[in-house]
């Protein structure tokens, strides 16, 4: 059961690269579309850094953007978003990939756009913003379908980017709904807006549409009636033109609904050959279409010819790349087709198509899309198993929000009934340092009735549960050692959890001061994790070996381990993850010892920022990391900061008082600090203040920041005041500038 949780399951690069490439291809201007040049010129000449194009589906937002892109003399970059951009990491990654067209430096930060939680806002977004600010030439970045990325986290990250758009450049956003951040930009005079009213067409625009569609015989009186009934809605007018062209009476359209799309689409589609109608309906289960995916899902062999035929007939099929290999339906047309598919073929047929789509995406290395299709197919058991497998890999690439959305779709009762899913979610919360989620999931895990499982699954589940207990260390070192021993015994060398079991085994022996066994466990864990491609375990174990070498006076060997620990962080682009804190702290100590004070200070700043998620969920690591951070501060002459870290350790010990031999190290540090006064020195930002700090880059109010962090307005005010005092500033802008200089924000 749990043996599949740690496989490298995020798929190969081929299809993922193709899908990403399709999202950043600038589409050609649509032939025959009514020109929006006046609107474009007004927005371009406004001088606003951000242009918002907001209207419901069918108003020609994408068409306007494509016309703008085709005629703008500046360098153009394009991003098309979809439902997978719910995470800031996904959103920032695709924007960074698109930005390479006007700033080659963007290529170097794409892999670093994987921050989780405030790390996306505090590190990834400022890194990309710096790339935009330093662009060597003026640019226009078009972001289509921004409504898919309307989560507060995504909106906050976007605001950081907007603030760094250089003079002469613009970001143009198209969305069905007004992004929440536009109101703040409007108040600051930084936004130009194009709305549905602007995009509505008059008689002249309607005439151009009808003539291009080959329906020029409609007289002016009928056309005025059509414009009035469609209220200038561009897609409605185009559909009426298609009805008229095929011999229907477009002037008789009287849809009771504001949108007469269903009626109009049905009129258009009904005039097509039945096999074409069937193809359109059945292909609508796919978010993005290619000949290969349509052949596989629909069970046919001529999809390429059909797609070309449909595209040439101007039937709402939008090309997504210059090779005409990938397409998508116009969103409103797709919604109609999906409804028609279920009406014509039934829910069972729709589910079967989604099952085929899931299988095709899985085979072709796109498991995230496969899960989406499994959920739509109602295959909750298969989806739950796949989500359990994807949980930790997606944590490593910063896509935790996507997993949470999937869990919401499954429902709490079903999630609780899947032990592998509970194990995966528990570990994700532990590694992120998310105390409320970690304690909730661990309680669910502990309460699970193992007798409800098939006999072969019981021991693997008990092993997984024992390893979680060993990590939490709620009942002292002896219990942690026993739980780690159970994991060691029942996770064989072939288990994908073997490296985790070895790390926990080593950590438990540190609690009972058995250093030799700990060393052997850490060494083996690194070998296993390296073979498995799991950087977390390598990052956790390398500094432990370095510390053992330091204690033995072998600083040269310690340096090798420390450098390889930091190398693992950098190669895996996991800077900012809580599990990196110990490695960065130890590396900082080694650098200062070797006389590299500037390098040591940089590593120390990274470690101090990463400690946000070092909580009581991993008490031994969290306390030991702070001990090393404190010693690094002392080595740099800052005993005051070290004392503040001791106070953080004391807070952890109040929740996890029995951490065995680690207590002796705490008291040793306390005694060493007490031997000399802590004159001068800095007062570091607390984890709570570091969590809040990234929001000072935005225009969020105190109350809105509190809502983001689930804390009171008074708490936010108090923490902001403390940040200002510690950074010796009086404004948000100055705080952000100072924090960036100290390495607390950005790269």
Spell out the residues 6+ positions from residue 37 whose beta carbon is closer than 8 angstroms to its own.
67, 71
Count the neighbouring beta carbons within 10 Å of the beta carbon of residue 479. 16
Model confidence band, residue 262 (pLDDT cutoffs 50, 70, 90): low
| Percent helix, percent strand, percent coil in the chain, to nearest 5 | 65, 5, 30
pLDDT of 3 reads 37
Q: Pairing mode, if any, of strands 326-329 and 289-290?
A: antiparallel
Q: What are phi and psi of 552, to 5 degrees?
A: -90, 5
496-554 pLDDT tens trace: 899 999 999 999 999 999 999 999 999 999 999 999 989 999 999 999 999 999 999 99
d(CA 133, CA 353) in angstroms, rounded, equals 46
Residue written as tokens 């990325």?
149
Q: How many other C-beta atoms lie within 10 A of the C-beta of residue 105?
A: 15
pLDDT band at 396 (very low <50, low <70, confident <90, very high): confident
DSSP calls for 209-266 = HHHHTT-TTS-HHHHHHHHHHHTT-HHHHHHHHHHHHTT--GGG---SSS--HHHHHH
Within 10 Å of residue 34's Cβ, how many Cβ atoms?
A: 23
What is the structure's pLDDT at 551? 95
How far is residue 654 CA from its own chain's centroid? 34
Which pair of tokens denotes residue 120? 């996306």
Q: What percent of the chain has pLDDT over 70?
A: 96
Q: What is the mean pLDDT of the chain?
A: 91
Lowest mean pLDDT of 260-264, 475-479, 511-515, name the range: 260-264
* pTM score, whole prediction: 0.88
Closest residue by Cα to residue 118 from 388, 433, 390, 588: 433
**pLDDT tops 80 at residue 677:** no
Count Cα neighbours of 408 within 13 Å in the Cβ-side half-sphere: 6
Q: Residue 193: phi, psi to the nearest 5?
A: -130, 140
Alpha carbons within 13 A on the beta-carbon side of 630 = 26
Strand-pairing partners, residue 140, are 76, 170
Q: Residue 5 above 80 pLDDT?
A: no
CA–CA distance, 645 with 647 (Å, rounded to integer): 5
Query: What are the tokens at 140?
Result: 């226009």
- HSE of 668, CA atoms in CB hemisphere, 13 A: 9
Angle between helices 581-593 and 555-572 (to 10 degrees): 140
Alpha carbon distance 362, 368 (integer Å): 8
User: What does the pLDDT look like over 60-74, one tens digit per residue?
Assistant: 999 999 999 999 999
Specify the higher pLDDT residue, 324 or 358.
358
> How far is residue 134's CA from residue 367's CA, in Å, rounded to a whole number?
36
């Amino acid at each position: 059961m749990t043996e599949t949780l740690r496989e490298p399951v995020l798929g190969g690069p081929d299809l993922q690269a193709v899908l990403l490439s399709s999202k950043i291809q600038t589409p050609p201007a649509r032939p025959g579309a009514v020109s929006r040049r006046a609107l474009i010129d007004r927005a371009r000449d406004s001088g606003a850094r951000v242009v918002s194009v907001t209207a419901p589906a069918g108003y020609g937002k994408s068409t306007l953007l494509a016309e703008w892109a085709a005629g703008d003399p500046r360098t153009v970059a394009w991003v098309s978003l979809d439902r997978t951009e719910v995470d800031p990491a996904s959103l920032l990654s695709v924007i960074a990939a698109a930005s390479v067209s006007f700033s080659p430096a963007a290529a170097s930060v794409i892999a670093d756009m994987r921050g989780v939680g405030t790390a996306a806002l505090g590190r990834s977004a400022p890194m990309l913003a710096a790339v935009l600010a330093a662009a060597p030439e003026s640019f226009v970045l078009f972001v289509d379908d921004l409504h898919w990325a309307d989560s507060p986290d995504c909106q906050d990250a976007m605001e950081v980017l907007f603030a760094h758009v250089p003079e002469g450049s613009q970001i143009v956003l198209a969305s069905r709904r007004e992004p929440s951040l536009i109101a703040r930009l409007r108040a600051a005079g930084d936004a130009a807006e194009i709305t549905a009213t602007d995009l509505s067409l008059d008689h002249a625009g309607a005439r151009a549409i009808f003539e291009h569609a080959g329906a020029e015989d409609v007289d002016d009186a009928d056309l005025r009636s059509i414009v009035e009934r469609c209220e200038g809605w561009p897609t409605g007018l185009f559909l009426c033109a298609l009805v008229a062209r095929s011999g229907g009476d477009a002037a008789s359209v009287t849809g009771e609904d504001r949108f007469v799309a269903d009626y109009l689409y049905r009129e258009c589609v009904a005039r097509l050959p039945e096999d074409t109608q069937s193809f359109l309906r059945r292909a609508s289960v796919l978010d993005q279409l290619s000949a290969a995916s349509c052949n596989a899902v629909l069970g046919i062999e001529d999809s390429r010819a059909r797609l070309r035929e449909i595209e040439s007939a101007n039937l709402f099929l939008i090309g997504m790349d210059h090779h005409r290999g990938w397409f998508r339906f116009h969103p409103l047309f797709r919604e109609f087709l999906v409804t028609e598919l279920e009406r014509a073929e039934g829910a069972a047929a729709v589910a079967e198509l989604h099952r085929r789509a899931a299988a095709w995406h899985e085979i072709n290395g796109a498991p995230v899309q496969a899960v989406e299709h499994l959920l739509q197919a109602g295959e909750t058991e298969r989806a739950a198993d796949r989500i359990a497998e994807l949980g930790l890999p997606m944590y490593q690439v910063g896509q935790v929000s996507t997993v949470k959305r999937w869990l919401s779709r499954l429902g709490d009762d079903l999630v609780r009934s899947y032990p592998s899913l509970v194990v995966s979610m528990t570990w994700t919360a532990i590694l992120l340092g998310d105390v409320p989620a970690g304690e909730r999931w661990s309680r669910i895990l502990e309460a699970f009735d193992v007798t409800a499982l098939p006999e072969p699954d019981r021991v693997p589940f008990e092993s997984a549960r024992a390893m979680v207990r060993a990590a939490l260390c709620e009942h002292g070192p002896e219990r942690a050692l026993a739980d780690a021993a159970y994991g060691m015994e029942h996770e064989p060398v072939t288990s994908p959890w073997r490296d985790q079991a070895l790390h926990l085994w080593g950590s438990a022996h540190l609690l009972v001061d058995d250093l030799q066994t700990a060393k052997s466990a850490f060494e083996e864990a690194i070998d296993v994790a390296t073979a498995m491609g799991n950087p977390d375990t390598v990052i956790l174990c390398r500094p432990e070996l370095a510390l053992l070498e330091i204690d033995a006076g072998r600083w040269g060997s310690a340096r090798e381990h420390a450098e390889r620990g930091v190398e693992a962080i950098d190669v895996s682009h996991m800077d900012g993850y809580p599990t990196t804190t110990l490695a960065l702290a130890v590396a900082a100590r080694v650098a200062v010892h070797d006389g590299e004070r500037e390098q040591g200070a940089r590593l120390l700043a990274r470690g101090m920022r990463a400690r946000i998620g070092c909580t009581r969920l991993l008490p031994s690591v969290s306390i030991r990391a702070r001990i090393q951070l404190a010693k690094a501060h002392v080595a740099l002459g800052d005993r005051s900061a070290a004392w503040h870290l001791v106070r953080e350790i004391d807070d952890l010990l109040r929740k996890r008082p029995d951490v065995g031999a680690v207590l002796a190290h705490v008291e040793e540090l306390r005694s060493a600090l007490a031997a000399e006064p802590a004159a001068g020195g800095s007062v570091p930002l607390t984890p709570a203040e570091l969590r809040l700090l990234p929001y000072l880059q935005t225009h969020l109010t105190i109350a809105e920041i509190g809502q983001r962090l689930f804390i009171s307005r008074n708490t936010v005010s108090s923490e902001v005041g403390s940040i200002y005092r510690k950074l010796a500033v009086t404004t948000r802008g100055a705080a952000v500038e100072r924090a960036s200089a100290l390495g607390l924000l950005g790269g």
